[in-house]
Amino acid sequence: MKVNYKTGAARIMMVFNLVILCVFPLVYHDYYYDMLETKYQFYSGAAIVMAAAMLLWGVLCGRVSACLKGFSIKALIGVIKKLRFVDWTMLAFWASNLISWFLCVDWRWDAFWGTQGRYNGLFLMTIYMIVYFFVTRFSDLKKYYLDAFLFVGVLACLFGITDYFNMDILGFKENLSSSQIPIYTSTFGNVNTYTIYVGLVFSVSMILFACETGYIRTFLYYAVMLIAGIAIITGNSDNAYLSLGALFGFSPFYLFRSKRGFRRYWISVASFISVIRFVGWINVRYAEKVLGTRSLFNLAIKYEGFSKIIVLFWALALFAVILTCFYKGEKFCLGRWLSVVWGLLLAAIGLSVLYVLYDANIAGNAEKYAAVKFYVIFNEDWGSGRGFAWINCMEMFKEMFSLREKIFGFGPDTLRLLMENFYMDKIIEMELVFDNAHNEYLQYLMTIGIVGCVSYISFVISAIVRMARSVKGRPEVAACLFAVLAYITQAVVNLNLPIAMPFMIQLLSLGVCCKNRVSKGKDEISGVEEK
């Protein structure tokens, strides 16, 4: 009886995908005291076990021996020719880590394991590369992967929401100080990391809700979206604005292609704004029991005219429903014009933001923005010390790095050693540890240089482009695409951690491995007839 290698490999990858999407979010050991180490070890261990199982299966099926016997330069060239541009960018990113590590003579141990940072050394980057190639070669994106991801996501969100009510149902916070209690939540630790994950859950649930045709699934996705919306607000992390901005800002270019997507987009926006008001009501009704919101959402909650904004957006949602009900034609051609208008609106908003930043920081009109000064006025105190890290990192890069160091960096995840080497006096004065730039792209620029930073950006952008070419009739691919887009947007103010980054790698890899399977005459988004 002939053994089917592909079937067995697909089953191994199915188990691995479900372990990362469903088990990994809930893993912990000693509560928050070793959360980073526990997640890092679990993810690395799971990836190594998966790779070993794939190798063993290949040996048992005779695939490995067949490959070795058939090896030739011509066969190798054939394999190389099959690599896509996104594959090459991943290889370039890994190679830049390898070269940077090799050149890091003094800190080679730390650069390999990332022990002086957040474990983002060459070892973990190698794990990410292995996972990417195994998932893209032996997996296919099934909707039940995302359904399982959302189910576990709801559990993690509910856990975080109960933390907001100071319930601590699993005793995670029993030995934390009063100052630490508000900044650690759910099974993710720091609220910034938690809201990265919740942003992914919210993005996936919103896109699936906007595209789903079945009534039961539509209701369930909508419910998950509402729960994730509450969780992302009560998470009290400012990185949520960037994730949400990317999702709500760019998803219309996809959702406005169909009548269903158009009306459900506005329902989603109106629902989220209503959730903000709901959290505001909770803060008043249960003021003595909740932590309270401290992020920019607090300004919206306290704004007197916020109720009018809610009414306005529900009116837009109602208008979208009425418009799509009376619109004649199989295809929603009006969506193309609306996408153009939306693009102009986004451009206007972007220019307005740039003007505010210029006016507050360069033109000297900071007093005009007193209500939001912590967000628009950039100095060393900006962003809980992010300003200090960014300013000094750029100073190091321009003034203290040699040409070789600018190109290849100082070694993966060695920023803490760099900061202590050049700015120890300032660090002692501020009584803070800077082991990360709190900007994923700046972190790569400093540690693996221009080559590493450019290769990483090329990798995520090429993956997004590939997914964008495959979204027709595949809402699950679109869900992965916008989840990745939300992640890379918030990464501007956040750090790469083996607690959250694995989800991005997993969703990106699953999205990239898919092919377009839509049939002619079907709805562009869902692949079925419009209703």
pLDDT in tens, 189-212: 999 999 999 999 999 999 999 999
125-129, 177-181, 340-344, 511-515: which range is least confident on average? 511-515
CB 481 within 8 A of CB 457: no
Q: Average pLDDT over the chain, rounded to whole?
A: 90
**Residue at 436 is within a domain:** yes
What pLDDT is recorded for position 68? 82
In a domain, 521, yes or no: no
The pTM of the full predicted model, rounded to 2 decimals, is: 0.93
Tokens of 462: 């090429």
pLDDT tens readout for residues 212-230? 999 999 999 999 999 999 9
Mean pLDDT over 156-174 rounds to 93
Q: What are 239-260's pLDDT values in tens digits? A: 888 999 999 999 999 999 899 9
- 46-60, 330-344, 398-412, 454-468 — which is least confidently predicted? 330-344
Chain segment 303-328, per-residue pLDDT in tens: 778 889 999 999 999 999 998 888 87
Query: For 78-100, what is the mean pLDDT?
Result: 94
Question: Could you tell me the two tokens for 47?
Answer: 């990836």
Q: Which domain holds residue 85?
A: 5-383+386-512
Indicate if the pLDDT at residue 521 is higher than 50. Answer: no
> Average pLDDT of 484-513?
95
Residue 335 lies in a domain: yes
Matching residue, tokens 């919101």: 293
Reduced to 3 states, what is the DSSP secondary structure of residue 463?
Answer: helix
531 within some domain = no
Is residue 474 pLDDT above 70, yes or no?
A: yes
Of all residues in the chain, what percent are helix, strand and coil, respectively (each to 5)? 70, 0, 30
pLDDT at 524: 56
Is residue 43 a part of any domain in this protein? yes
The reply to whether 524 falls in a domain is no
φ, ψ for residue 471 (rounded to 5)? -80, -20
**CA-based radius of gyration for the chain:** 24
Rounded CA-CA distance 507/482 in Å is 10
Q: What per-residue confidence (pLDDT) applies to 26?
A: 96
Is the per-residue pLDDT at 520 higher than 50?
Answer: no
Q: Is residue 527 part of a domain?
A: no
The rounded percent of the chain whose pLDDT value lies above 70 is 95
Indicate the pLDDT class of residue 523, thresholds 50, 70 and 90: low
- The count of residues in the chain is 531
- Residue 530 pLDDT level (bands cut at 50, 70, 90): low
- How many domains does one find in the chain? 1
271 in a structural domain: yes
